[in-house]
Chains A and B, each alone.
Chain A
Amino acid sequence: METEDDLCQNNWGSASILDYEMAMEEGESDLQVFKASSGQDNNGQANVDVLQGVKAQAWDPRTMLSNLSFMEHKIHELQGLVHLIIGRNGQLQDEQQQLITTDLTSIIIQLISTAGSLLPSVKHHHNMSTTAPGSALFPYPREANNLASQTLNTNCGDLDLPKPIVLEEVHEMKNEDDAEEGENLPPGSYEIKQLEKEEILAPHTNFCTICGKGFKRDANLRMHMRGHGDEYKTPAALAKPNKESLPGSEPMLIKRYSCPFPGCKRNKDHKKFQPLKTILCVKNHYKRTHCDKSFTCSRCHTKKFSVIADLKTHEKHCGKNKWLCSCGTTFSRKDKLFGHIALFQGHTPAIPLEETKPSAGASSSQSGSSGCNNAGMVSFNLGSATNANQETSQPGFMDGKINFEEPFSPLSFDTCNFGGFPRSIFDDSESSFQMLISSACGCSHINGGDGSDSNTSV
């Protein structure tokens, strides 16, 4: 274990920097994301033993010893880190600096909690205290290491960028639910991550290390990777990265997210900071709270949304089942209308004259949706432009289909956003709506639709 750790440490300095440079080159900010890497797989099994030992005999002097040695180890790590800062102080950019401070904080937190676990009175939390020895074995430098290895195309199956995938999110949340009671986590019992604005707004979070193609889902990326060679077709490469380590995933720290917007209650610097649970929460929170509401409802033309899924949820109910009173008040529920009528003298239910002409309604909604489609594009351009560049910069790696869609790439990204991403959240009967849009927007969008299909199917 120690040797491994040393290895990590040794690698860390150079690899992480290398990584950052890569990140700069790519114009990506993904690398700021810190997630327990799948490197833990290596340690996972070893940790299980330790963990069991801890659980079984909390007062075992051996465990104490190992905890102490862990702390010692950590302090060494800290030392190395500070050295690095001293050494590279002038060259460090803001982002990197922030990164390192985050690292430092998390290591310190780990230290504190491990130290706490040595005390007899401290209760054994699932999260940190019991698992301390294990989780301590893969501190953040390993991630950088891992990322570095990604760039070297050695470890693509373990690619570990943030995964806004519903299934996995659900899974993680379940794990968390098992581990914690309520949302009132004591500060310090979880690690805080903060994504940058660009990253939050980026349409893709998973990128192919060979061709650079972006994906929303890790699973889609893995499917895509199969095309790059047989080594990606092995069950191990195709498996869900977390899955194998699931039994041992308990040792992981609970992750909570911070909003990058200064002054926001969800920002970690806020006095009454309330962390966000998942990356998805971060994305939705940021868009809802700190972005323009650029999606207008095509039915009522008044309600605006910044998250397209919210728009769709609203449009599903907007105009439909509007229970109308003679006074002009509308109600979404019939019993509310009847309560209103019971309350006020002279108010009567208003009977709609006829079913509104379906053709006219459809056409207006089509034009409206295409309008807001364009509006939506603007907000996503920042994020998507770089990806588009990526795709176009490496045409050799792409099949004909993607080449064909090159001229439409901004649009195609847009439709991806429109259809693909929200669908992953609310994957119910929205497909008809999507059909409507794609048909309304003509052939370019049909291509776009293909693009999104290819994204999900590759």
Chain B
Amino acid sequence: MKKAKQIQHSKPFDLLSEELVFIILDLVAQNPSDLKSFSLTCKWFYQVESKHRRSLKPLRPEYLPRILTRYRNTSDLDLTFCPRVTDYALSVVGCLSGPTLRSVDLSRSFSFSAAGLLRLAVKCVSLVEIDLSNATEMRDAAAAVVAEAKSLERLKLERCKKLTDMGIGCIAVGCRKLKRVSLKWCVGVGDLGVGLLALKCKDLRTLDLSYLPVTGKCLHDVLKLQHLEQLLLQGCFGVDDDTLQSLTHHCNSLKNLDASSCQNLTQRGLASLLSGAGCLERLDLAHSSSVISLDFASSLNKVSALQSIRLDGCSVTCDGLKAIGTLCVSLREVSLSKCVTVTDEGLSSLVVKLKGLRKLDITCCRKLSGASITQVANSCPLLVSLKMESCSLVSREAFWLIGHKCRLLEELDFTDNEIDDEGLKSISTCLSLSSLKLGICLNITDRGLSYIGMGCSNLRELDLYRSVGITDIGISSIAQGCCHLETINISYCKDITDKSLVSLSKCSLLQTFESRGCPHITCQGLATIAVRCKRLTKLDLKKCPYINDSGLLTLAHFSQGLKQISVSETGVTDVGLVSLANIGCLQNIAAVNTRGLSPSGVAAALVGCGGLRKVKLHASLRSLLPPSLINHMEARGCAFLWKDYNNNNNNNTLQAELDPKYWKLQLEEDIML
């Protein structure tokens, strides 16, 4: 009777076409738990949902046969949560979703071999993308198998250190449709392999050759590619002026060139590299060995359409910056991070020409003062992102001007600056602000933060690391105003109590919560977060002494999406740790110097958490845990980090760490050293 009733009830949905349901599902799909509820509604919904879903990210390889049977239209398979993917699993994938599969990510997986890849390559005829990064044991034979996937367009082989030219040669000949190839850190691949790849795969759009032992020779072939848009040569020490000397090319398609950390590339080589790339938009010269002087900047005259330039860690002269400003007026992004030689004069002469500047990174340019920041604020009204960590000479008025002039700001990094409440008040007028970093800003208080809470309703990320002027009042105003908050860091804000946590639990989208070194936080506060913030994935509770097992039990029950947790130096015991095994996606656990833990408890927790990738434990446990267990965990794909702190974590050190003046003094001493 009941069944008949249900069938009758489901009749109204017969009128609903599948296409319409699919459209509804597209909208629902943003939240995985919603999809789950949807599919559990009835059999028909269940079936429709199985037909609709295209991308899968399984937590365990054991589930593959079942989920692939259920989702027959899977086209994207992300196996990054499955450390151990055997050849059997790959052949299951090949058999069950062979015709539909378009993309496979095996970048975090191991223990598969060429045989499994062969099944995959042969069965999945429409495979377009495969990510085999970090397959450090992969050899040429496996690469030759990958070449069987003829329709491959995107291939990632990062850190496949045992690959040689032969394997790349096979891929080059086999996969003629390749468009994006990343060979980063494939240190066995040289000029010949890359040259052949460029010769055979004419459709290449993106080529990542970072840290390869290639010279300028292969670039002669690479730059002949008609469609090449992105070329990454980061850390290619073999690319030098001599091998680029005779280079002449007309690679007008090239948009993005990364020549950072190329130690042997100087102005001469760069000039020949840029000579034919007239349409270049992004240029990365970070950590270049040569001084960015007037001469150096003159080599940029061929690429006047440049939109973005990165000069991180270079020694930059005033003339050089001025010349860049003159030559490349269309620049939208400039990064001068860690360029310690940048002066007010240089930066001012650069930005005064760049009316359209959107992003500026002057992290750790310690010589800068308020003058240049004022210039930035005055000449760049379109600024979207400003990162100026550790520019501690910048005066408070400059911040006020920034907020006043640059209304489009979305990303601000004021870590370790002198910004005060007035500055925050001015910043709060930037309505689209989404990321605000106020770490180590000792001048800000709850009043300033309440301006932010009232003004920036789009805030998604807030960093208050060691901003000790903040109390529960400030946090609660943030929690009230910024309901989209996803990431918050209140580490070492010593006055924070459970009240803040209760108020933060209103931000239901919260994913990352870091409250390291907050001595007043207890399990009640944590419980409210755990219950209300369903998307919580990253949690740092280190040095919160009042956090104990009851907090972890609540987490284990409610925060099923948790991936990373740190419970070092808390009151957690075996019970709490073992309860974490209830969280299926948990990948990282740090539990150092937690006194309540016994070796057997840790062992039980380790065995219980099936998806662990990284565990941080005290070094003394290394000998106490059975070696077979450690071997077993490592075979499952879990890496151990053994930390050996000196065991003097008594209350005095915590107090000392919480004292901002003392801490900053120590930090400065370290910097001086």
Distance A43 CA – B174 CA, assembled complex (angstroms): 77
B170 interface residue (CB < 8 Å to A)? yes
- The residues of B that contact A348 with a CB separation of less than 8 Å are 144, 147, 169-170, 173-174
A330 to chain B, nearest CB (A): 13
A:333-382 near B, CB below 8 Å:
334-335, 338, 341-342, 346-349, 351, 353
Inter-chain contacts of A347 with B (CB < 8 A): 173
A257 to B138, CA, bound (A): 59
Q: Residues of A contacting B169 with CB < 8 Å? A: 338, 341, 348-349
Complex-state Cα separation, A26 to B203, whole angstroms: 79
Query: Is B167 close to A, CB under 8 A?
Result: yes
By the criterion of a CB under 8 Å from any partner CB, how many residues of chain A are at the interface? 12
Complex: chain A residue closest to B166, CB-CB: A349
Q: Are B192 and A334 in contact (CB under 8 A)?
A: yes
Chain A nearest Cβ from B366, distance in angstroms: 49
Q: Is B195 a contact of A338 with CB atoms below 8 Å?
A: yes
Given A342-B199, A348-B173; A334-B165 close (CB under 8 Å): yes
- Kindly provide the distance from the CB of B560 to the nearest chain A CB, expressed in whole angstroms: 45
A341/B141 in contact, CB under 8 A: no
CA–CA, A335 and B141, complex, Å: 20
Is the Cβ of A351 less than 8 Å from the Cβ of B140?
yes
Proximity bits, B141-170, A CB within 8 Å = 1, else 0: 101100100000000000000000111011
- The reply to whether the CB of B196 lies closer than 8 angstroms to some CB of chain A is yes
Residues of B within 8 A of A349 (CB): 144, 165-167, 169-170, 173
Instruction: Please indicate the chain A residues that have their CB under 8 angstroms from the CB of B173 in the complex.
Output: 341, 346-349
Q: How far is the CA of A341 from the CA of B193 in the complex (A)?
A: 11
CB distance from A118 to the nearest CB of B (A): 58
Q: Could you tell me if B170 and A351 are in contact, using CB atoms closer than 8 angstroms?
A: yes
Pick the most buried of B144, B173, B174: most chain A CB atoms within 10 A of its CB. B173
In the complex, A338→B199 CA distance in Å? 11
Query: A335 vs B194: C-alpha distance in the bound complex, in angstroms?
Result: 12
Which residues of chain A are near B165, meaning CB under 8 Å? Answer: 334, 338, 349
Q: How many A-B residue pairs have CB under 8 A?
A: 40
Q: Is the CB of A351 within 8 A of B196?
A: no
Residues in B whose Cβ lies below 8 Å from that of A335 = 192
- Smallest beta-carbon distance B352→chain A, Å: 50
A348 to B146, CA, bound (A): 13
A338 vs B165: C-alpha distance when bound (angstroms): 9
Q: CA separation between A346 and B196, bound complex, in Å?
A: 13
Q: Residues of A contacting B199 with CB < 8 Å?
A: 342
Residues from 188 to 223 in B contacting A, C-beta threshold 8 Å? 192-193, 195-196, 199-200
Could you say which of B143, B147, B192 contacts A338, with CB atoms under 8 Å apart?
B192
Whether the pair B196, A341 counts as a contact (CB closer than 8 A) is yes
**B215: shortest Cβ distance to chain A, in Å?**
13
Interface extent on B, as a size class? 10 to 19
Within 8 A of A (CB), among B630-651: none
Q: A338-B165, A341-B169 are in contact. Are A351 and B144 (CB under 8 A)?
A: yes
Compute how far the CA of A335 lies from the CA of B218 in the bound complex, rounded to whole angstroms: 12
Chain A nearest CB from B214 CB (Å) reads: 13
- The reply to whether B166 and A351 contact each other, CB–CB distance below 8 Å, is yes
Residues in A whose Cβ lies below 8 Å from that of B167: 349, 351
The CA of A180 and the CA of B166, in the complex, are separated in Å by: 49
Q: Which residue of B lies closest to A346 (CB)?
A: B173
Measured between alpha carbons, how far is A71 from B602 in the docked complex, in Å?
Answer: 107
Distance in angstroms between the alpha carbons of A353 and B192 in the assembled complex: 21
Expressed in whole angstroms, the Cα–Cα distance for A335 and B195 within the complex equals 10
Q: How far is the CA of A347 from the CA of B196 in the complex (A)?
A: 12
Chain A residue nearest in CB terms to B147: A348
Give the CA-CA distance A342 to B192 in the complex, in Å. Answer: 10
Q: State in angstroms the CA–CA spacing of A270 and B170 once bound together.
A: 54
* A50-85 near B? 1/0 per residue, CB < 8 Å: 000000000000000000000000000000000000
Chain A contacts for B200, CB-based, 8 A: 342
Most buried by A among B167, B169, B199, B200: B169
The answer to whether B141 touches A353 (Cβ under 8 A) is yes
Minimum distance in angstroms from B164 CB to a CB of chain A: 9
A342 contacts B141, C-beta separation under 8 Å: no
Interface centre among B141, B143, B166 (most CB of A within 10 A): B166
Report A-chain residues with C-beta under 8 Å of the C-beta of B195. Answer: 338, 342
A39 to chain B, nearest CB (A): 58
Contacts of B144 in A (CB 8 A): 348-349, 351
Q: Please, which residues of chain A bring their CB within 8 A of the CB of B174?
A: 348
A346 neighbours in B (Cβ, 8 Å): 173
Nearest-Cβ distance from residue A327 to partner chain B, whole angstroms: 12
Rounded to whole Å, the gap between the CB of A64 and the closest CB of chain B is 60
- The reply to whether A342 and B166 form a contact with Cβ atoms under 8 Å apart is no
Binary per-residue interface labels of chain B (421-457) against chain A in the complex, 1 for a CB within 8 Å, 0 otherwise: 0000000000000000000000000000000000000
Q: Which chain B residue shows the least CB distance to A342?
A: B199
> When chains A and B are docked, how far (Å) is the Cα of A334 from the Cα of B173?
16
Bound Cα distance from A342 to B165, whole angstroms: 13
The distance in angstroms between the C-alpha atoms of A347 and B169, with both chains bound, is: 10
Instruction: Indicate if the CB atoms of A351 and B147 lie closer than 8 Å.
Output: no
Query: Are B192 and A351 in touch, CB under 8 angstroms?
Result: no
How far does the Cβ of B321 sit from chain A's closest Cβ, in whole Å?
A: 43
In the complex, chain B residues whose CB is within 8 Å of the CB of A342: 195-196, 199-200
Contacts of B196 in A (CB 8 A): 338, 341-342
Question: Which residues of A, 295-341, contact B by the 8 Å Cβ criterion?
Answer: 323, 334-335, 338, 341
| Chain B nearest CB, measured from A354 CB (Å) | 9
A346 to B174, CA, bound (A): 8
A323 — nearest CB in chain B belongs to which residue?
Answer: B166
- Distance to closest chain A CB from B468 (angstroms): 61
- The complex places the Cα of A323 from the Cα of B193 at a distance, in Å, of 13
Report B593-613 CB contacts with A as 1/0, cut-off 8 Å.
000000000000000000000
Chain B residues with CB below 8 A from A353, complex form? 141
Distance between Cα atoms of A347 and B174 in the complex (Å): 9
Q: Which residue of A lies closest to B173 (CB)?
A: A348
Residue on B nearest A338 in the bound complex, by CB? B192
**Chain B residue at smallest Cβ distance from A354:** B141
Write the nearest CB–CB distance from B121 to chain A, whole angstroms: 14
Which residues of chain B are within 8 angstroms of A323 by Cβ–Cβ distance? 166
Chain A: which residue is nearest B141 at the CB level? A351
Q: Which of A323, A342, A349 has the most CB of B within 10 A?
A: A349
Chain A residues contacting B192 (CB-CB under 8 Å) are: 334-335, 338
Alpha-carbon separation in the docked complex, A335 to B192 (Å): 7
Q: CB-defined interface of B170-183 with A at 8 Å, one 1/0 digit per residue?
A: 10011000000000
Q: Closest CB-CB distance, B277 to chain A, in whole Å?
A: 24
Write the nearest CB–CB distance from B125 to chain A, whole angstroms: 19
Which residues of chain B (112-140) have a CB below 8 Å from chain A? Answer: 140
Considering the chains assembled together, what is the distance between the CA atoms of A339 and B166 in angstroms? 13
Give A349 to B200 CA distance when docked, in angstroms: 13
A356 CB to closest chain B CB, in angstroms?
Answer: 15
Contacts of A341 in B (CB 8 A): 169, 173, 196
* B142 → A minimal CB distance (Å): 9
Task: Report the Cα distance A323→B196, complex, angstroms.
Answer: 15
Residues of A within 8 A of B193 (CB): 338
Tell me the minimal C-beta distance from B190 to chain A in angstroms. 9
In the complex, chain A residues whose CB is within 8 Å of the CB of B166: 323, 349, 351
| Cα separation A102 to B140 with both chains bound (whole Å) | 65
Within 8 A of B (CB), among A417-457: none
With both chains docked as a complex, state the minimum distance between the C-beta of A69 and any C-beta of chain B, in angstroms: 65
Distance A323 CA – B166 CA, assembled complex (angstroms): 9
Q: In this complex, what residue of B is CB-closest to A344?
A: B173
A117-149 interface code vs B (CB 8 A; 1 in, 0 out): 000000000000000000000000000000000
Can you spell out 7 A-B residue pairs with CB atoms less than 8 angstroms apart?
Answer: A323-B166, A338-B192, A338-B193, A342-B196, A351-B166, A351-B167, A351-B170
A338-B169, A349-B144, A349-B166 known, 11 other contacts, Cβ within 8 Å: A338-B195, A341-B173, A342-B200, A347-B173, A348-B169, A349-B165, A349-B170, A351-B140, A351-B144, A351-B167, A353-B141
Question: Nearest 5 pairs between A and B by C-beta?
Answer: A349-B169, A348-B173, A338-B192, A349-B166, A351-B140
Q: Which B residues fall within an 8 A CB radius of A?
A: 140-141, 143-144, 147, 165-167, 169-170, 173-174, 192-193, 195-196, 199-200
